[in-house]
Structure formats: structure tokens, C-alpha cells
Structure 1
């Protein structure tokens, strides 16, 4: 692949167009050279790896905006195209590299022109260090700053010129989207971080959080009776809500208080352990609207498949995450979810890790006697030996995966001209669960991102839709898109569609969900080859963190998983070598300047981030 992160990656708009084209063509890659087979000895055998990523299917993209000619439009700040390096697929690399390696001057200018959230917003993740008490207190002040931002945003909105009002969104053409393509960071997978989830704890413990910044998800929405409503979550939200009666407020607070320590009151739910959570809610004398909010927007579980205990656990998890960093349980990384794997890559690189992009692997080399994998052979015919091998599921050939049964995820990404629920502030990060029309079908999770998340250009919103697949992504998700958005061109728009946000561009695709596959399902894999899955359909990242820790502990049972790295000032260097004496890590020669750069760039994590990409 030409990019970090596999199906966790994030693309600029032009990079995503290249990715779409690559997945629509579906051309098989033939071996350019068979010379590597000479490297295989008599007592060895090979396990060939797949030549084509087949985890993405049914890719369909549509342009609904003003389709003025964008053929001669150049992306602002684009770098010259890279020369072709022999490795196949290098043609599409240039456009993706424009996103991965932007000029520092351009990045700095982008930061200066950003919304108030970027300038003073969620406390840079470098502040998220130390113990949990320190983190909480620091982020309480961060949340105060975020509230201050909201005031700034409101003032900014009020001071905006009248022509850019909520009723008359600014017209965006396709050529504008192409020109501003580098302002888009479009994730292949859509997730949020629970503020007390495993990934946040791991980012803090390992200090990888220094490489990222986060923004609070500002509101939880619900879709009920054809309308989008905001869901009150915290105590303050409940009592300030105008859509709930006083009786409903008391009912809701009483039930949420029960959920926080439901284990202490088993007599209240044990009769319903074998029934669904939806049925249990009906016995609690909650109004239909409260049942809807709790089931679809707080617990976010299935109406037909979720047991009472699972629903109570999900509700408790939601409530426990409230208030740590803001009024909702969720955080979103600036520049997109694709930043998270890159953050871990940066930390690894600081301590000597090496990454080879556009560098494919032909096969695994297995010793016939021991049955263990001893080396790989790359497409240059180079043989690389190691004790352990970790491979992502998509790289395995069809013969290895014959007995594996995969699930699929339906995904859609939309660029729209306004929010699904307009308020005084334009800068909202929203999560909405749309319940299925037919019982038994999956609900659709909708995440709407504003421009201050650094994932889309100004005056647009980036909307992600996700659900477990039952059909193709378009068949699964287009009915929901039609409910929430206007898909017609401007000339075809009727009066009833005017109130809906207009879709300017959309892509649908199905992604393989390889989570939960048992290693024994793979045919003929050696014991020292470990398979990691791609993204799952869940909203959080707990599955990936658990899987990473499990694989690490199997390989190194006596080692700590992702230990805190030593502070640069605590590392003692020899005069001629840059090797830490006590850390146990093997550093490359650029470790020292890398570390000092990061430590010396207070508040400038974005600039450091972009410089890292250039390297």
C-alpha cells in the first residue's frame, strides 16, 4: 500500500479519488519477476501473500453539487507528482503523498486561518500525561476553554455576513471541493473515542497522545418521527431541556442513576435477564420518547438483539464517560481517525522503528522441519529474517482464508453544505443513530464533522454513515441518506427538500469486517505468524486495543504492553552513539533531534505533525 494504516487510513479528497479509482478497477497484479524463488532453500516452503486488497467492494461515488468542469483545476498547495519507483501502483501515490507530505508553510498557514477550536480548543494531547487525577483536572480546564470557544463561535456566527445564513448556505461547486481538497481528511472507517475507553487510556499511558489533538463531540442526536432532535445526556442537559416535561426529566434521571450502579440492585432486572433491553425499558414506565432516547442514543444498541444486561452495561459505559473531557462521552482526533495509527507509528519511529511504503512482500518462508516462519521475501527479491511476523488479514491469500467467514460493513461518506440540525454554532461534532424501519435490521450510525475538526473545508460538513451490511452499502444506507439529506440538484429541489442539507458529493462502499475471526480458521499458518483484523463495525476502538495487547502478550509474555517511554531529558547518550542506556529501546541516529523537536514545540504539535509526514 502507498499509505499508513490500511483500512484505518485517512485521505485528502484527491487521495480518496485515487483510492476509489484503484478499487473500482480491480486489476490483478502479476509478479514482475520470479527471481525471488531462487532464494528458497530445499528445506523451506513458501506461503504466498495476496497481490490485491479485496477487502473493499461495491465502490460507488456520486457528485450532486454544481458539476462545473474540474479537469483543469489544481489542488491548492499540491506538491509536484512523484516519479514512478518501479513498485506497481506508484501512479496513484503522488496524489496521496500530497496529503501525507504537505509543505510546512502551507500547514502553518492553515493553522493560522483555522477556527477558534484549533487555536485554543481541546487541550493539546501533550498535556494528557501523568496520572488520571492530573489528566482529569487538566481537561476540566480544557473543557472550560472549550466552553469559551463556544462563546467565541457564537459571536463569530452572529458577526457573519447575512448572505451566509443557515437558511441560505453558501453554494459550493465541485471544482471548489477539488481545489480545497487538501483541507479534507476523509477516514475510511468512522469511529469516536470513548473518554474512558481503552484507547484513551492507552494513548495516555504510552504518551502517544503527545502526537495528537482532540475535539469533543458536542452533541448526541436522535431521529424520531421524521425529525432530528438533540438528546439530553448530562444532568444539566436534562434539566435545561425544553423537549422533556418535568415528569419525563425525573423519570430519566431516576433511570440513569439506577444504570450507574445497576449491579447493586439485581432484584430490579434479574427477572428480565433473558429478555431484550427494549422490553425491559417498557417495564420501567418510561415514555416512548425516553425509551427511544435511551435505546438508540445513549445505549446505542439493537432493539431486537440486545439483552437486558448488555443494554445496562452499554448505558453505564456511556454515563461513566460523561464529564471527563466534556458534556458528551466522545472525543474525535483532529485531522481524522487516520491520525491514530500514524501517532503510534511516530512513537515507534522515534525509538528505531522502520516503515517501508510502496514495498510489497511476496511470501512468507517456512521451515519444513519446525513449521515456523523464518523470513519474508519482498518484491525486490530481498530476504528478511525475523522471529515473529504480524500480518493484516487483507494480505493473506484466498487459499489461506478458505475456511474464514467474514462479515461486511456498509460505509458512506458525504460532503454536505449544512448540518442536519442547525443551531447558533456552526462548529458542531454530532453523532446520530437512525433506527431501522424494519425490526431486525441494523441501525445506522451517523457522525457529522464540522470544519474545525480539520476534516473538511469551510462551509461544508463531512458526514460518515456506518452499519453492518445486509446488502451493498448503497442499498443499506441510501434510504437513510434520503431521509436526512437532499440528494437532488439545485434545479430539481422541491419545497419540502429545501430544509434538508444538500449532498454535494458521496461515496458508498462495503468494507470487510475481519474482527472476531479465530486464528485456527486460517489454513496452514505457522504458530509464529499472527493475524490482526481490520476495523470492526463498533463505534469505539476497544476491539483493536484488546487484539493488539493479546498478540503482544503472546509474543512477549513477560513484557509490559506499550510502556511509558523515557523522557528525552532522562536518556543518557554516548558521545559518538545515540543509544539510551536504560530504556531497552534501540534508537536510530535521528532520535535525539526528533525528541528535542517535539519537546521544544509547545502548542505547535500540528507543525511537528506535518514535519514528521514530510520525513
Structure 2
């Protein structure tokens, strides 16, 4: 390929593992394999780290979402984009566009007690990362943004709840805490029932049920529509999500709430794991696609041909989800999908797409905070809204945009692109129309087409809509990593990566060493991830 840089030949030419794509799953896998003593070659056709988990400037959005076709060799490795229905307005990027770093897979946060934090600490990559707290969690309720009463102090400050309702909610949260501490266990029969029914029998009012289901347990689907709901959350899973949320609140000294976000964007996470892998001997090469597979006479995988025309050999290969594995190299194993992890049977989702949107704005949703998560429960925007919409506003203090500017990420699971984009547009319209009638919010964001009606509001300066296909990871003769899913956290990605590692190396431990055993002396950013004493 004529546009490839003049890389010297890769030496050695044989590795235990070749990984293609530097998405979060592949980067964690590469760091784990290198930490287990495996020789790893990590390739990426992009000129930056992160792949589908990257953070890139607006100028690179269109080319990343709509990449040119890659030329392939005789075995015709099919490479396709997992994105469709891309709509960027305006096509011209905003001024100072290089000062913006936009997450491709947003909205995303990390809960302070979730699996991602556990892996970050166990692997030692926290020495390369820094986080800040999400300032506030809001829910869209009857046309207004309302604070979520997720702590004792917020419950008693909530003006919409009567005293009796506050006492009921406090009693319910106490029950959850007692169950987690095994002081008062919820019966097995109740744990197997739908969580929405358990909440109803706890005499919680509809508004509080909605808050618990969609803003704390982060459920995607309308739990009241059991006949049409794609996934009914059990009480067991619902309680576990509430315990996780409660355990996350104030766990770290720099995060009074439950959620944190990496400074410089979510793309810092795969870069940190790649850096950790490099310390353990992994070789990384960017701008380097693979164009062919090498197989022996029996059809077994043996290696790859790079776009530089060099042949590299390995025992194992893990592909980016945008590559389609040749059908004649797949096995007929009914449990070769990474969605079959015993800890998480719900990785597979009947909604096969996630609609995403990114907006650059000049006004915060709340005048006193920069980093805000907004939850739009199902049917809160319009009757046909089948899944929850999540909107995450990140401000300049996260170093992803200039001071005084904000980036708004939105997502919604969908089965059809038009369905998902409609939900996102309605959510943007709802935030646009926040105005004088909403006494809790001063200022609003408005679409550039409606400036005349919102003379006092700054417009949405730039926005991108796109639909991402949900692709599961796959373990077989050749493995593939999963795409980012539609969840707010990374738990599914972490579980799929752990399963992939265990399938590849069943005798090895996943990040066996403690972070203190070795560190990168050049690390210049240290995250405060020490629990409160």
C-alpha cells in the first residue's frame, strides 16, 4: 500500500499471539497475555490507538465511521464498517476543532466499584490514568430534569416526595444493604421474580420505581410492558445493580458520587492497557492492516500477511470485530460465542444496534455543573420510545473540549436505525426546549435551525448521528473481539475479554501480578483510586 509509512521489518516474525485492533477488549487482552509471559504483536490499521473505543477530534469522525475499503489477499478477509446511517451536521468542523476529543463509543462512565475499576487496579494501569467525578445524575420526569435521590441527603432534600414516600425509600435501601451484608436475606423466590414486581410490592410509588429501574439499576427496556420487553430484569440482578451503585458512591476521595470519567476521554483506557502491555514486551504497530491469512494444507490458521507484504506467524489470532472470519475456518461449536460467559448470560441482545449521537454545545444543561448524566426512561419522550436514552454531558474540566464548551453524548438500543435516531433526536429536542418554564434549569441548548425561537440560547454547534452494529466476540480457530455494547459501563466488555483470555490460555491467570511488582518509571499521570479510609 503506497500510503503506508516506511516501517522496518518486524522482528521477530513469530509470536504467541497476534491481535488486530486496539479497542478496549483487545488492549486488555494484549496486556493480560503479555503479563502472562506471552509474546504479543498488536496491530491496528488506524493511525491512533483505541479503534471502536477511541477518542478522536471532529475532523476524524467521518473518515473513521466511513472508512475506505481495505484491499485483501487471496483468502479475501472481509473488512467492513460496523457503522451506518452516519449524519454529521455541519460537515465543516467547528473552530478550534483540534481542541475537541470525542468518544466514539459514548456515552460511557465507570462506576467506582465495577469490574473495570477492579481490572484497572489489578493490572496496574491506574498509574497511567486520571479521573474526575460525574457531578450529577438527573432523570427526565414530566418534561423536566430532576435530581436522582440516590443518597440519604438527596432523599430528604427531594421536594417531590412526601415524608411517607421518603421513609419507604429509605427502608427499601436499608433492605438492599442488609441483603448485601447478609444480615437479612431476600428470599430465593423473590430473587427470581421480576424486579419491577418486587418494587411494586415494596409499596414504592411509580416515580420512585422509575428512578430505581432506569437511573440507578440502568435498565434499558420498559419493565412494565412484560409482553413486549426484550429483557425482564430479575430481582437478583436488580439488587446486585443497586448494591454496585451504593458501593460506588463516595468510594474514592475525588468522587463523591457513584461514577467517574477519564480525563482526556474514554480513549485513554485502551491506550493505558497498551502502555502496560508494552512494558511487558508487547510490540505495537499502527497504520498496519492485515490483508491475508496463512493456512496449512489442512486449512488450519498459521499466520498473517501484513499490508507491508511481510509474513508474520503466530499460534493464535484475535481480530477486530470489523473483520469477518472466513466461514470455512469456523468450527460448529454451539458455545463458541463470548456471550455464553457463565457470569453474564445477557451479553447477547435481541436489539442488534445502538444509535449514538455526539453534540458540541456552548451551554451547560445545568449552570452550576459541567459533567452530568441524564436518563430518559422508556416512553418518557414519546409513547413509542421502546428503550431508555442516556445523555452524558462532559465539560472542559475533563480536557476534552475548550473551557466554556461542552460535549453531549447520547445513545439508545434499537432494532432499526430509524427507531434509534428518532429517540436520540427527541432527547436532543427535549434538552433544547428547556427554558423559562423549567425553574430548576437556567439556560438551554438549541439546534442551529431554531435560533430564531431561542434567541437567548447558544446553538448545537456540531452534531453527529450514527448507528453502530452490536457484534459479539467469538472464540474459534480464529478469535474476534466484541464491539462496544449499548451499556453505560464496561462490564460486558470486561467479562467477554476475560472469557476470551481463559479460552486462549486456560492454564494462565488473568493479570496474576500485583501492580507494585513493576511499573513504568515514565508514568506521568497518577489517578487517585484509593478508597476512602
Residue 105 of structure 1: aligned partner: none
* TM-superposed deviation, 1:407: 1.4
Matched, 1:427 2:358: no
Higher relative contact order (CA 8 A, sep 6+): 2
Structure 2 counterpart of 1:257, from 167, 171, 174: 174
Q: 1:268-347 alignment to 2 at 5 Å? A: 270=189, 273-274=192-193, 276-301=194-219, 302-304=221-223, 305-325=232-252, 326-347=255-276
* TM-superposed deviation, 1:187: 0.6
Residue 459 of structure 1: aligned partner: 404
Q: Which of the two has greater strand per residue?
A: 2
Distance 1:596 1:320, change over 3 A: closer
Residue 513 of structure 1: aligned partner: 470
Q: Is the 8 A contact 2:371 2:392 kept in 1?
A: no
TM-score normalised per structure 1: 0.65
Give CA deviations for 1:226-284 in whole Å, capped at 9, x if unaligned.
0011112122222334443333322211111112234755667835844x333332222
* TM-superposed deviation, 1:207: 0.8
Q: 1:92-111 alignment to 2 at 5 Å? A: none
Matched residue SS, 2:506: coil
Structure 2 counterpart of 1:228, from 145, 149, 152: 145
Matched, 1:5 2:50: yes
Matched residue SS, 1:261: helix
Residue 520 of structure 2: aligned partner: 595
Q: Which has the larger radius of gyration?
A: 1
Residue 443 of structure 1: aligned partner: 388
Residue 415 of structure 1: aligned partner: 360
Residue 588 of structure 1: aligned partner: none
Residue 122 of structure 1: aligned partner: none
Q: Distance in 2 between matches of 1:342 and 1:256?
A: 38
Give CA deviations for 1:145-168 in whole Å, capped at 9, x if unaligned.
xxxxxxxxxxxxxxxxxxxxxxxx
Structure 2 counterpart of 1:351, from 275, 280, 283: 280
Residue 107 of structure 1: aligned partner: none
Aligned residues: 436
Query: What stretches of structure 1 of length at least 5 have no aligned partner?
Result: 38-46, 71-173, 520-524, 572-593, 606-615
Residue 347 of structure 2: aligned partner: none
Q: Is the 8 A contact 2:195 2:235 kept in 1?
A: yes
Structure 2 counterpart of 1:19, from 64, 89, 96: 64
Q: Distance in 2 between matches of 1:224 and 1:498?
A: 26
Give CA deviations for 1:118-148 in whole Å, capped at 9, x if unaligned.
xxxxxxxxxxxxxxxxxxxxxxxxxxxxxxx
Distance 1:566 1:361, change over 3 A: same
Q: Distance in 1 between matches of 2:360 and 2:209?
A: 32
Structure 2 counterpart of 1:60, from 70, 87, 94: 87
Query: What stretches of structure 2 of length at least 5 have no aligned partner?
Result: 1-44, 224-231, 338-349, 433-444, 529-533
Q: Is the 8 A contact 1:420 1:501 kept in 2?
A: no
Q: Is the 8 A contact 2:370 2:393 kept in 1?
A: no
Q: Is the 8 A contact 2:378 2:388 kept in 1?
A: yes
Q: Distance in 1 between matches of 2:431 and 2:87?
A: 19
Matched, 1:378 2:306: yes
Q: Distance in 2 between matches of 1:287 and 1:406?
A: 29
Q: Distance in 1 between matches of 2:358 and 2:509?
A: 38
Residue 471 of structure 1: aligned partner: 416
Q: Is the 8 A contact 1:57 1:511 kept in 2?
A: yes
Distance 1:597 1:491, change over 3 A: closer
* TM-superposed deviation, 1:366: 2.0
Distance 1:406 1:384, change over 3 A: farther
TM-align CA RMSD: 3.1
Matched residue SS, 2:264: coil
Distance 1:60 1:513, change over 3 A: same
Residue 69 of structure 2: aligned partner: 28
Distance 1:299 1:330, change over 3 A: same
* TM-superposed deviation, 1:431: 4.1
Q: Which of the two has greater helix per residue?
A: 1
Q: Distance in 2 between matches of 1:376 and 1:331?
A: 39
